[in-house]
Amino acid sequence: MELNILTICYLIGSITFILGLKMLSNPATARKGNLVAAGGMTIAIIGTIFLYKDEAGQKLHNYIWIFGGLAVGTIVGVMAAKKVKMTAMPEMVSLFNGMGGACAALISIVEFNHLTSGKNEIDLYLTGIPHGQLLIILLGLIIGSVSFAGSMIAWGKLNGSVKDFSFPGQHIFNIVLLLLIVGLATFLVINLNGSNAFVFYIILALSLLYGTLFVFPIGGADMPVVISLLNSFTGVAAACGGFLYDNKVMLTGGILVGAAGTLLTILMCKAMNRSLANVLIGSFGAKKVAGPGAAPGEQGAYKEISLSDTAVVMSYASKVIIVPGYGLAVAQAQHACHELEKMLEEKGVSVKYAIHPVAGRMPGHMNVLLAEADVSYDKLEEMEQANEEFSSTDVVLILGANDVVNPAAKSDPSSPIYGMPILDVELAKTVIVNKRSMKPGYAGIENDLFFRPKTSMLFGDAKKVLQDLIAEIKSL
């Protein structure tokens, strides 16, 4: 009876995951979808704690430890998730993803110990090595720890504490490393005995190393894609656990995320008009390629514009398009931005926002930020729409965006971002770029746009500049 109820709990869990994910892909139902999935998860967890029985009919024990762990995780998780700033969301997702990967790897370690403990060579010989089970344990270990290590590096990169790092031949080294992991795992599955169980821990160490090296050289601008990919990895690692315990809800949840995450990764790549392989491998030598054609300093002079000039140009324009980027997010300038918009609208200027699909550090990042500042939805335009409107626009104000407006993506085949669709801001009459300095953007490449005759630079922190600009416009 109890097991039957547990089956129902798992069934409900699986259905809510599918429904939740489906609802999450539609703006009108997204929030409800998240709650539906969370509800299903709660039912599955509670059911497991109280109703689970293993093959021998034994119920779970160690309730104090279980509830202790749940309590610690819940408190820390809620606090971290509530406190994190909107701008730091991407690294938060990466961090949580890493936790899931580590959890899967830990399960594998415990189960492996279970498998080998107290057994010597003869025992294993007599009972036979459970090849299938061992394979799943190893898969969970490898995928889980790659996902954990990779997510930690991605997290460090997004919050700026880890810098890009690569060495010559790293690509080949990574492939060799991966082959070595696969080779050792195959060896262990076929030949496990009492004396070579230590190979398991070598595989663990190599997987962690691989996860680290795999993410290290990839540029920060591509981190969303990497996180999405690691996200689907963790899904597969969770599914391995489902295989291990013959647990259908883990299996469905894990595979669902594995498949959806992979597709989402590809969709994100498509938004940048690049292939996944290009994102993962293309990062190598990005700096080398930038060498010919575009040596810094050769590009001539840029022109600066004062705040009062900007204020005048903008308030007498009839149409202004604002292009937000990561700089806006870092400076927390979304509210100031909305205020500027309102002020200009009062003066009869039409103001819109052009949102590049990968503006900020995650797709949708800018929409979330601007929505937080109460910018109305119909003011946000997607790239295609915006590109049609630039030619009839008087002033384009670029706030801390760089790579998404870099004309090199169209004109310079040697550029690492070549082929990425960009916002054609140059079609507008005037382009004003707000940046903190002339430093290149996240992809680490120079931007020709800043040196074009139509472009003027307005240096400073986005929030400060916008506040000063608002004050200037008020005093006009």
Active site residues: 403
With respect to other proteins, which residue has the nearer C-beta, 220 or 286?
220
DSSP for 359-426, written as a single string: -TTSTTHHHHHHHHTT--GGGEEEHHHHHHHGGG-SEEEEES--GGG-THHHH-TTSTTTT-----GG
Q: Who contacts 240 (Cβ-Cβ below 8 Å, separation ≥6)?
A: 104, 108, 136, 137, 139, 140, 143, 144, 254
Supply the minimum distance, in Å, between the C-beta of residue 457 and other proteins: 29
Site string for other proteins, 217-246 (x = CB under 8 A): -------x--xx--xx-xx-xxx-xxxxxx
In eight-state DSSP terms, residue 88 is: G
Distance of CA 127 to the CA centre of its chain: 45
Residue 115 in the binding site for other proteins (CB under 8 A) = no
Between 61 and 439, CB nearer to other proteins: 61
Asked if 12 interacts with other proteins (CB under 8 A), we say: no
Is 198 near other proteins (CB under 8 A)? no
Which residues from 241-300 bind other proteins, rule CB under 8 A? 241-264, 267-268, 271
Nearest approach in angstroms of CB 242 to other proteins is 8
Site for other proteins in 82-101 (CB under 8 A): 82, 84, 86, 89-90, 92-93, 95-97, 99-100
Backbone angles phi, psi at 345, to 5 degrees: -65, -40
Compute, in degrees rounded to 10, the torsion defined by CA atoms 142, 143, 145, 147: 160
149 binds other proteins, rule: CB under 8 A: no
In angstroms, rounded to a whole number, what is the distance separating the alpha carbons of residues 321 and 356?
A: 13
CB 349 within 8 A of CB 315: yes
Judged by CB under 8 A, the residue of 157, 274, 352, 365 near other proteins is 365
CB of residue 465 to other proteins, shortest distance in Å: 24
Q: Which helix (DSSP H) or strand (DSSP E) does residue 23 occupy?
A: helix 2-24
Residue 106 found at the interface with other proteins (CB under 8 A): yes
Sign, CA dihedral 381-384-386-388, equals negative
Cβ proximity to other proteins: between 68 and 291 the closer is 68
Using CB under 8 A as the binding rule, whether residue 116 contacts other proteins is answered as no
Residues in 65-84 that interact with other proteins by CB under 8 A: 65-66, 68-70, 72-74, 76-78, 80-82, 84
CB of 146 to other proteins, least distance (A): 14
Going 337 to 340 to 342 to 348, the CA torsion angle's sign is negative
